[in-house]
Copies of this chain bind each other. A is one copy, B any other.
Amino acid sequence: MAELTRLRSSIDNLDAALVHLLAERFKCTQQVGELKARAEMPAADPAREAVQIARLRQLAESSGLDPHFAEKFLALVIDEVIRNHRRLQEPEDPQA
């Protein structure tokens, strides 16, 4: 039980670090979205995504993370980013 408590405390610390890094990542992608909206660039960039997926799979392998999980994680993040980018590109609501 002491061992379980110790491990859960480490997991909670890692989760706090993960949330803070994710917050920082979305701050960056928010800026990317604003740049793209100003430049009228498309929200999604399949070529960039393919490079990111290949790179993360490799990083996952070298760090002992299941590469399949790393890919699912990146898909969740990119999905959210593209949704946010599209929102930045939508014209203002004319009723507002």
Which residue numbers of A lie inside 8 Å of B, CB to CB?
3-4, 7-8, 10-12, 14-29, 31-32, 35-36, 48, 52, 55-56, 59-60, 63-66, 69-70, 72-74, 76, 80
Dominant secondary structure at the A interface = helix
Picked from B14, B26, B74, the residue with its CB within 8 Å of the CB of A21 is: B14
How far does the alpha carbon of A21 sit from the alpha carbon of B44 in the complex, in Å?
Answer: 26
Contact A28 B52 (CB under 8 A): no
Contacts of A21 in B (CB 8 A): 14, 17-18, 21
Q: In this complex, what residue of B is CB-closest to A67?
A: B19
With contacts A32-B4, A32-B7 known, is A23 near B80, CB below 8 A? no
